[in-house]
Amino acid sequence: LYAEAVFGPVVILHAYETPDELLRQLNCFSIGVRLAVYTRDIAEAFELARHARALSVHINDTPTLPIDPIVRGDMQEHHMCFEDMLQRIERLSQPKYVGFGKMSLF
């Protein structure tokens, strides 16, 4: 499961000691993953979102939405110039969705 893409909904639960350990393990994937992080430390969550090689990062939430409409956006249909700009950005970068769920402070 860690090395190849799997057809179907698959969840891998993995505990980690430090955020650096999690990033090392996560970033060794050669396939696109969707990451869900549950934490009370928002700074740590955003640091993971920033450095994780993931298609999407869900903070205190589950990845239940389809990825294509989120990453690409619906704005492409509205203006051809905007679509060209998005295509250029996609060629030069890796888009990433970061979702934020409800959080209990206590």
pTM over 0.75: no
CA–CA distances in Å: residue 23 to residues 47, 86, 88, 89, 103: 10, 28, 28, 25, 22
Question: CA-to-CA distance for 22 and 15, rounded, in angstroms?
Answer: 8
One digit per residue, the tens of pLDDT, for the chain of length 106 reads 666 666 666 777 777 888 888 888 878 766 667 788 888 888 988 898 888 887 778 888 877 765 544 444 433 343 444 456 567 667 777 777 787 777 665 5
